[in-house]
Chain A
Amino acid sequence: MGLTGLEIFKHLPKTNCKKCGFPTCLAFAMALANGKASLEACPDVSDAAKEALSSASAPPIRLVKVGAGDNVVEMGDETEIFRHDKKFNHPTAVAITVNDTDDVAAKLDTINDLNFERVGQQYTVEMVALVNASGDAAKLKAAVEAAAAKTDKNFVLISEDAAAIEGALPAVADRKPLIYAANKDNYEKMTEVAKGSGCALAVKADNLNELAELVDKIVALGYKDLVLDPGSRDTSKVIADMTQIRRQAVRKKFRTFGYPTIAFTNKDDEQEELLQATALLSKFTSVLVMKTVKKELLLPLLSWRSNLFTDPQKPVAVEPGLHAIGDASENSPVYCTTNFSLTYYLVEGEVDATRIPSYIISVDTGGISVLTGYADNKFTAEKIAKAIKDLGVEDKVKHRKIVIPGAVAVLKGKLEDESGWEVLVGPRESSGIQKFAKSQFA
């Protein structure tokens, strides 16, 4: 992120002394903004100005890490407000709450089992939030030790008693947990603990103004691996605060808010918690601390996360292969399309709506669409023929007829030669599939 002429100009001495070789400080500032001069050319610029200028050119949101070794969760380093502009870099990390009054070992068994496989992807929760619910420092320490023995997941240590954190930390310090949280009363001690261990430190305040004040105080103590909690808990307020923090950092370059964020659900009903979590995850939360361990509720949330944090500029692929739609049998029609998810799901929906059990071959085009795949030699007669063979379609159906997208009708002859199958040219748009199926297969 380059600095603008005006930002630079404000830090220059404004003496127009010409020692830099430019006629005015303004001209020098413009040359710096254009990368055509270096700040060293000004003999009179103050150290404070140098520091301000160098920090102003840092990324708008700091990259902060939790965890160590291969097990690091990165957060922050975001540059966007809307996902359609450019990818959100780091998916929200989900942390599940364990109180130090719980049966820690049993709960950790449950959490360790929160792994999901869906559409060829693996989903999991990344963190365990250990809460000093007892208020007893010894209990937190015991819980942290018990949890550390049970899981490889990352930790959030939750207590506003700095001594409790300091006592519990050694058991997991090398795993670099997130410390939660510094507040206006304990921040000096908490900052010292975080600094000493090199762990990221959450900063909790009661509103945005107090948060800004507290962050500045901690930064003045020399620590910057921070995660922000504006203190709001009701859904609507959290969304407003998270939006402000993101916009202030990205649009206004407000350094004080240039850090990742943490949010907590506050619903007791687990189903209500799912909807609250869905909202918070959608709006700029870096770490989401929640309570439910129900697979049936976490799976939809993690599926949404996987969708939201895909790169909008990269096509999303579905698994290539043979998909049975309905109760497909040896007489069912066979369609083929690419494995670009949007194309595939549209085709799948329409084929399903024909109410005729069918097969769909999604050919591996690297996730690009029919016409792009054709143009790029990724959706060719050879590839379709090979897919028919490799997927064993000839063992699944008795007939030898395949439907290809109307947009690539040109592949018909070649595909018939390559595969020995009869090729039916389907409609150009998936919306025509129902009509087509009715005329061909009903």
Chain B
Amino acid sequence: MAVEINKEKYRSQVREVVLGATSADGGTRTSTIKVGGEASLPFLQFEGAIPNRPVVAMEVWDIVPEDWPANLKSALGDVISDPAAWAKKCVEEYGADMIALRFKGADPDLGDKSAEDCIAVLKSVLSAVGVPLIVYGCGKADKDNTIMGPLAESAEGENLLLGVAEQDNYKSVASAAMAYKHSIIAQSPIDINIAKQLNILISEMSTPLLDRIVIDPTIAALGYGIEYSYSIMERARFGALSGDRMLAMPMIGNVGNEVWVKKEASVSVSEQPGWGDEAERSMAWEAATAAALLQAGMDILVMRHPRAVELVKKSIDDLMQDNSY
């Protein structure tokens, strides 16, 4: 008996966003990345094209990440004291598709680095690697508003992915993206309505920016409310396919940032004998968090641990195998 394969007929598809720019387009990247463009739910190649595979960006800090658990720091080695060397190792040794450079050192409590100092770090990383870059501030809006503009200007034409625009603080990042030809992360607090509204607000500043937005729906680690993010992502993706233009953006998730502050990523096996070896457990927590989010349509995973990155990339290889009937 021939089973009639059920294929959803969707009205629309996810927007395709290009990240990075080569010299032909006014940048210095040796390669660019395309994300989005999906015409089906995650990995259902049998009903629609998935033209671009999800990518992994590895996180690099401008300062030594003292608070990271020892097993994460030791997996990365000495390079964590040198952002350029760290980025280079991520790309050349660990196969990172992108580098996510976080200016934690600009935090007023963690060194209060000036815009000029940040620019110097950005330039060193840009020359150390050829892949596209994501640039995050320190996470404190007041300070970030003073560094993101200068950072964007200093890398004009590179088509960085700038983080983050939020509902009550999107104008400076959006203006910087517009003026200096970058893309933008629109971040909403586990709230699909705000995710949509923020895209509208950004598009009101500049319609062409609509094709340069990546949604950060705010994700959680496994065991910490990830199911809320998962369902918001599923709804957003289904909405995008059903014709909702304002949710039809690729999505990014800060996996490492969520996972590595959780108990499961650091508590030792002697403290929690029932939880198994902490080095492998913590790495697995990051990898499995990413694997779950891939099933809801995540396009860019920002991660930290080399082995977790390797596992996720292998898993993406498997998921991208054509499964059409």
CB pair A236–B234 under 8 Å, yes or no, is no
CB pair B291–A275 under 8 Å, yes or no, is yes
CB pair A300–B3 under 8 Å, yes or no, is no
CB pair A275–B227 under 8 Å, yes or no, is no
B61 within 8 A of A: no
Contact partner, A296, options B230, B235, B284, B295, Cβ 8 Å: B284
Cα of A193 to Cα of B277 in the assembled complex, Å: 43
Most chain B beta carbons < 10 A, residue from A303, A355, A438: A303
- What would be 24 A-B contacts, judged by CB atoms less than 8 Å apart? A118-B275, A237-B321, A240-B323, A244-B5, A244-B6, A252-B6, A274-B284, A274-B291, A275-B287, A275-B315, A276-B318, A279-B315, A294-B276, A296-B280, A299-B275, A300-B264, A300-B285, A301-B288, A306-B223, A307-B225, A308-B227, A312-B227, A345-B220, A353-B139
Given contacts A297-B276, A352-B261, contact A278 B292 (CB under 8 A): yes
Q: How many A-B residue pairs have CB under 8 A?
A: 175
Cα of A271 to Cα of B280 in the assembled complex, Å: 9
CB proximity to B under 8 Å, residues A184-206: none
A18 within 8 A of B: no
Which residues on the B side are within 8 Å of A118 (C-beta)?
Answer: 223, 264, 275
B109 within 8 A of A: yes
Cα of A41 to Cα of B314 in the assembled complex, Å: 62
Given contacts A272-B314, A307-B227, A352-B261, contact A209 B295 (CB under 8 A): no
Closest 9 pairs between A and B when the two form their complex, measured CB to CB: A296-B276, A295-B276, A296-B281, A240-B323, A303-B223, A278-B291, A84-B231, A236-B321, A300-B288
Given contacts A272-B311, A274-B284, contact A341 B225 (CB under 8 A): yes
B155 within 8 A of A: no
Which residues on the B side are within 8 Å of A341 (C-beta)?
Answer: 224-225
Which residues on the B side are within 8 Å of A234 (C-beta)?
Answer: 318, 321
Which residues on the A side are within 8 Å of B63 (C-beta)?
Answer: none
B298 within 8 A of A: no
Residue-by-residue, is B103-126 near A (CB-CB < 8 Å gives 1, otherwise 0)?
000000100000000000000000
Name the CB-closest residue of A to B308.
A271
Name the CB-closest residue of A to B5.
A244
User: Which range holds the interface residue count of chain A?
Assistant: 35 or more
Which residues on the A side are within 8 Å of B280 (C-beta)?
Answer: 271, 294, 296-297
A89 within 8 A of B: no
Distance (whole angstroms) from the CB of A67 to the closest CB of chain B: 24
Name the CB-closest residue of A to B257.
A349
CB pair A303–B275 under 8 Å, yes or no, is no
Which residues on the A side are within 8 Å of B44 (C-beta)?
Answer: 239-240, 243
Which residues on the A side are within 8 Å of B264 (C-beta)?
Answer: 118, 299-300, 303
Given contacts A216-B1, A275-B287, contact A299 B276 (CB under 8 A): yes
A93 within 8 A of B: no
CB proximity to A under 8 Å, residues B216-242: 220, 222-228, 230-231, 234-235, 238
Name the CB-closest residue of A to B295.
A282
Given contacts A240-B44, A244-B6, contact A271 B284 (CB under 8 A): yes
Cα of A437 to Cα of B198 in the assembled complex, Å: 27
B200 within 8 A of A: no
Given contacts A237-B321, A303-B223, contact A283 B295 (CB under 8 A): yes
Distance (whole angstroms) from the CB of A145 to the closest CB of chain B: 29
Cα of A322 to Cα of B189 in the assembled complex, Å: 25
Contact partner, B319, options A84, A212, A235, A431, Cβ 8 Å: A235
B129 within 8 A of A: no
CB pair A212–B231 under 8 Å, yes or no, is no
Cα of A352 to Cα of B226 in the assembled complex, Å: 18
CB pair B231–A271 under 8 Å, yes or no, is no
B294 within 8 A of A: yes
CB pair B235–A342 under 8 Å, yes or no, is no
Cα of A346 to Cα of B315 in the assembled complex, Å: 30
Which residues on the A side are within 8 Å of B322 (C-beta)?
Answer: 236
Contact partner, A275, options B220, B225, B226, B312, Cβ 8 Å: B312
CB proximity to B under 8 Å, residues A223-270: 234-237, 239-240, 243-244, 247-248, 251-252, 254, 256-257
Which residues on the B side are within 8 Å of A209 (C-beta)?
Answer: 1-3
CB pair B223–A271 under 8 Å, yes or no, is no
CB pair A303–B139 under 8 Å, yes or no, is no
Cα of A297 to Cα of B139 in the assembled complex, Å: 32
B34 within 8 A of A: no
Name the CB-closest residue of B to A348.
B224
CB pair B281–A271 under 8 Å, yes or no, is no
Most chain B beta carbons < 10 A, residue from A84, A257, A300: A300
Most chain B beta carbons < 10 A, residue from A115, A208, A298, A342: A342
CB pair A236–B225 under 8 Å, yes or no, is no
